[in-house]
Structure 1
Amino acid sequence: MAVGVENPGINLILGPVLLGIIINTFIFGIIVQQAVVYYTGGRHKGDSTVIKCLVAWALLLDVIHSAAIIWVIWEYTITHFGDLAFLATTPWPYPMTPIFSACASVPIQVFLGWRVKALSKSWYYFAFLSTLSVVSGILAFVSAIKAFQVSNIADFAALIPIVDTWLSLSVACDVFLTLFLFIFLRQGRTGFKRTDNIITRLISKSIETASLNTLISVLDLITFTLLQNTNFHFVFALVAGRLYTNTLLATLNSRERMRDEMSSHSGVSTVPTGLAVHISVDREHAQPGMEMNAYPGRGGKLQMPGQMQMQRERDLDTKADYINMGTAA
């Protein structure tokens, strides 16, 4: 490297990229482990074709993008070692980053929006969330197209309005996904301690899975806007897509454990509805010969306790399945 080069300038360009690639590689390793559990543990067998295709698509994107950004560091440190002019250029994986991020986030956000629709029984929430996600994805593609027209990182300032709008809409979609799941799960609280504890855990899980994705997007937006002539935003931009995939696989793999816990805690319980009287009896505490009478269920039909319990377990299992697909967003 030439003598007299301003090292702080090189550090601000090359350092964040190297750090982002290291973090991305670490998260990619976690994703590979999650994928092995998902496929070898048989967790994919009961999933629909849509979910299987979504997982395969997210994994394919992660492999391609991770390989591309490793190539960037090779170009910087090996092929163009000592070439200061090359450090200021934008290799093709840079402008492709918004596309990789959007291709991962939009399908997952739309899918999670469908889960919200299933919980709320309303198309309006799905339409609202899908619109936010798709528009943010379109803006990500526009950002990438404009970035391909920029040959130097010093000219990235011209992209601030479009990039900030894209990231803001993506953050808004993640936040609303979490909010809607929180609202509709709380509406499912029954007043029974065990059931409510499970629902509380599901709510906490939805917030936890969404918070990291949201935080990374916000930090990406802030660093891209305020720290021009540096590559600090790549620390967050390079890993955004990986976080969506990791959240998706982690929540898919956690469903079996959650269902087992619900099964062990479930008893004969019902959600308060109308004027019906509701009883909760744990199976493990039921006495031999205990008489259980039928009671009026929904629509005026008589429900036996066994039917009540199976219906309640199906309701809880449905909620767990929907929330365990988490926000991703």
Structure 2
Amino acid sequence: MGQFDLVIGVVLLGLFLNTYLYGLVTYQFIIYYNTKFNDRLWIKSIVGLLFVLDTVHSAVAVYAGWEMCVTNYANPSVLAYVSWTIPFTAVATALAAFITQIFLGHRVLILTKNIPLVTFIGLLSLLGFFFGVYAGIYSGILHAVAKFGPLGPFVTCWLVFQTSADILITCVLSFVLSRSRTGFRRTDTIINRIIRGAVQTGLFASIFALADLFSFMLHRNTNLYAMFAYPLGRIYTNTLLDTLNARTALKAMDGTEIENDSYRMQHQTHTISGAPGTLHSIHVQKEVITDLTDECPVDTKYTV
């Protein structure tokens, strides 16, 4: 292993992954913009804000790579300090997580009507945002990597609260939606797709947040944490946009489904008076109508 593999190399890997995920964010944003969803203004504002935030943060990430590998190419002593890009990354990531969790918390409120539960989710998210901003600003004040010891508790609180909110949201959405299964194939397919989106939203963000936490706490003499810290904000935006854009596929499954099952039973009898035999038939028709109609489209019933 080279001398700078765990100092510069891991940062570059994080920047490459962040750039790839930003490309996916841009693609998802274009799909959302061109699909013309009938979303409320606050939802459109969240999408626009996250896209602007991701664009600015990705530009800052590229600058961080340039500053480390080009501007200070012959100055390895600079690696003992953090520039303003690291505090900005912490603040931007905490903000992206907070916005996404507020949106998903609204979905929990719509589905459960449980105000205490949503309030608890909001508290976890707010605490994660607060400690994330505090940790970012504090890292800029400390500046020297050797002085990062006191920063540990604040980073721990930030990522633990943030991850707890993600996991709680995922569990609640999965539980509530799984109980909404009706037994009808088309409706259950739509519900399963929404559950998968909810799991994806919390799973990938939680994995990267915990990896960021453990690498920061256990490998203080490296920049391993940066490999997970830079792309974390893009993961939140990608999963949120994927949840919104998935309605295009769900609408294709939408509609009113009528299943007709006919069962015919015939038997021959004779009247008591001895009249000619009469054929009696019993016709049983069963109609099954799903609960997804044009008046209640899937994107308004389940996702917002």
8 Å CA contact 1:17, 1:235 repeated in 2: yes
4+ residue runs of structure 1 moved beyond 4 angstroms? 290-293, 308-313, 315-319
* Residue 16 of structure 2: aligned partner: 22
Secondary structure of the residue aligned to 1:82 is coil
* Residue 38 of structure 1: aligned partner: 32
Structure richer in strand, relative to its length:
2
- Aligned residue pairs total 284
**Is structure 2 residue 246 aligned with structure 1 residue 254?**
yes
CA displacement at 1:317 relative to structure 2: 5.2
RMSD of aligned C-alpha atoms?
Answer: 2.6
CA displacement at 1:156 relative to structure 2: 2.1
Change (3 A) 1:84 1:316: closer
* Residue 325 of structure 1: aligned partner: none
The amino acid of 2:206's aligned partner reads: T
2-structure distance, mates of 1:310, 1:202: 15
Q: How does 1:226-305 map to 2 (within 5 A)?
A: 226-263=218-255, 266-267=256-257, 281-282=258-259, 285=260
Q: Greater CA deviation, 128-137 or 32-41?
A: 32-41
Change (3 A) 1:64 1:155: same
* Residue 219 of structure 1: aligned partner: 211
CA displacement at 1:74 relative to structure 2: 1.2
Which residue of 110, 118, 134 corresponds with 1:126?
118
* Residue 296 of structure 1: aligned partner: none
| 1:124-165 superposed Cα distances (whole Å, 9 cap, x missing partner) | 121011010001100111101210112222322321111011
The amino acid of 1:246's aligned partner reads: N
CA displacement at 1:259 relative to structure 2: 1.9
**Is structure 2 residue 118 aligned with structure 1 residue 140?**
no
2-structure distance, mates of 1:139, 1:246: 23
Secondary structure of the residue aligned to 1:87 is helix
Unaligned runs of 5+ in 1: 1-6, 268-280, 294-304, 323-329
| 1:49-97 superposed Cα distances (whole Å, 9 cap, x missing partner) | 1011101110111111111121111112222211011122201011221
- State the percentage of identical aligned residues: 32
* Residue 50 of structure 1: aligned partner: 42
Change (3 A) 1:68 1:309: closer
Q: Greater CA deviation, 22-31 or 145-154?
A: 145-154
2-structure distance, mates of 1:37, 1:209: 18
**Is structure 2 residue 58 aligned with structure 1 residue 66?**
yes
* Residue 3 of structure 1: aligned partner: none
2-structure distance, mates of 1:90, 1:317: 44
Q: Greater CA deviation, 190-199 or 108-117?
A: 190-199
8 Å CA contact 1:153, 1:230 repeated in 2: no
| 1:33-59 superposed Cα distances (whole Å, 9 cap, x missing partner) | 11111112334xx11110111011101
1-structure distance, mates of 2:66, 2:96: 25
* Residue 172 of structure 2: aligned partner: 180
8 Å CA contact 1:259, 1:320 repeated in 2: no
Query: TM-score with structure 2 length normalisation?
Result: 0.85
Change (3 A) 1:309 1:32: closer
CA displacement at 1:209 relative to structure 2: 2.9
The amino acid of 1:321's aligned partner reads: T
CA displacement at 1:204 relative to structure 2: 2.6
**Bigger-Rg structure (1/2):** 2
**Is structure 2 residue 42 aligned with structure 1 residue 12?**
no
